[in-house]
Structure 1
Amino acid sequence: MNKKRICGLICVIFIAGMTTTSLLVIALNGREIVQDVVVQNPDGSKGTVFVVFRPGLTGFNQDIVNEYIRGLIASDWRVEVTTSSLQTPTNVTTYDLIVLGSPVNGAKPHESMLAYLARADFEGKPVVLILTSGFVGGPGLGVFENATTDANGVVISEMQFQIFEADARSRAYAAGTEISLGT
């Protein structure tokens, strides 16, 4: 084979590989992830927190949300955790605080989180927003805040974490320990 044909073959293989990878990422990112509500620290005395998150493709968002939850538990909160899906409970009357965690997807929170927010009514409850991204979240936090406000949530804290941040996990844990409702 001559060099042109080899180069052309390599280009075709590369393009086919990239196309296949892109289609897999799109399919994996779009699937619904349903998780039952899991109670952590059931005897927490500070109040009850409802955490709704969307696991990302890399696991980074879930890691950050879990560190935030660890901080809440260290501060003696009862925590109930689930994923954003069509089955996510929208009745929040028994919760003192709501925490929402989503990776950035197309410069906005993941579609499953936005769909959950479109169905939910937070009844004026305080909400913490956690947005994670591979690089820069762009306008994602503003979109997240607006959707939460439209769901009658009162945003009391919003945080962004990038995957390359060396202290992202410790920052999330510290934020979980420091949250206060001012009561």
Structure 2
Amino acid sequence: MLLLVITITGLFATAGIVLALNSREIVRAVEVRNPTGSKGTVFVVFRPGVTGFNEDIVNAFIRGLIASDWRVEVTTSSQQTPTNVTAYNIIVLGTPTNGGKPHQSMLDYLARVNFGGKSVILILTSGGDGLDSMGYFRDATINANGTVLTELRFQLFEAGAADRAYTAGTEVAV
């Protein structure tokens, strides 16, 4: 009986820690990658997930952009994320699914920004198919005056996901 109580307590404590880590804001400064890129400038905003999968997929996509000679500026979705996007040719947004929707920090960013009709690429990672979550993501992007250029969904444990993300990054055009 004591073992059962300890096990259940441990599970609740672990769940609480995961929820706390997942809901906290992650702030990173804007990092410039490939500063001499000649194709134009892409602004990438992403939310790191609990597993690291979303960040891995976004980074694979960025490597594809760099291979195609784009200048890339990347940061996380937070209250400090820049909302002036006039200097960018394309916007890339990457988020894990959280409770059947894009992560709240991404939705909060989308509620603050006005893309002014700019092309936006959506990257969504999830444990399942992510269809409902992509619908939320698309609608929030359109409400922020973004023009959705591409929607990319990746499932956790999907074979070849990083390769597919890289290839998608190499195919971006204005």
**TM-score class normalised by the smaller sequence:** over 0.9
Q: How many residues align?
A: 174
1:120 to 2:139 alignment: no
Identity rate, percent: 66
Letter in 2 for 1:157: T
Mapped to 1, the partners of 2:153 and 2:131 lie a distance apart of 10
> In structure 2, what is the equivalent of residue 110 of structure 1?
103
Structure 1 runs (4+) deviating above 6 angstroms are none
Q: Can you list the C-alpha shifts for 1:44-78, whole angstroms capped at 9, x where unaligned?
A: 11110000000000110000000000000000000
Q: Can you list the C-alpha shifts for 1:83-141, whole angstroms capped at 9, x where unaligned?
A: 00000000000000000000000001000000000000000000000000123324100
> In structure 1, what is the equivalent of residue 28 of structure 2?
35
Name the SS for the 2:50 alignment partner. Answer: coil
Letter in 1 for 2:44: V
Q: Which deviates more, 13-22 or 48-57? A: 13-22
Choose which of 115, 138, 156 in structure 2 pairs with 1:145. 138
Choose which of 68, 82, 97 in structure 2 pairs with 1:89. 82
**CA contact under 8 A between 1:135 and 1:164: conserved in structure 2?**
no
- TM-score of the aligned structures, taking structure 2 as reference length: 0.98
- 5 Å-filtered alignment, 1:156-175, equals 156-175=149-168
- TM-score of the aligned structures, taking structure 1 as reference length: 0.93
Name the SS for the 1:51 alignment partner. Answer: strand
Name the SS for the 1:139 alignment partner. Answer: helix
- The CA deviation at 1:13 is 1.3
Instruction: Give the alignment's Cα RMSD to 1 decimal.
Output: 0.7
Letter in 1 for 2:114: D
Name the SS for the 1:104 alignment partner. Answer: strand
Choose which of 24, 32, 35 in structure 1 pairs with 2:17. 24
1:57 to 2:45 alignment: no
Structure 1: 5+ residue stretches without partners? 1-7
Mapped to 2, the partners of 1:93 and 1:46 lie a distance apart of 16
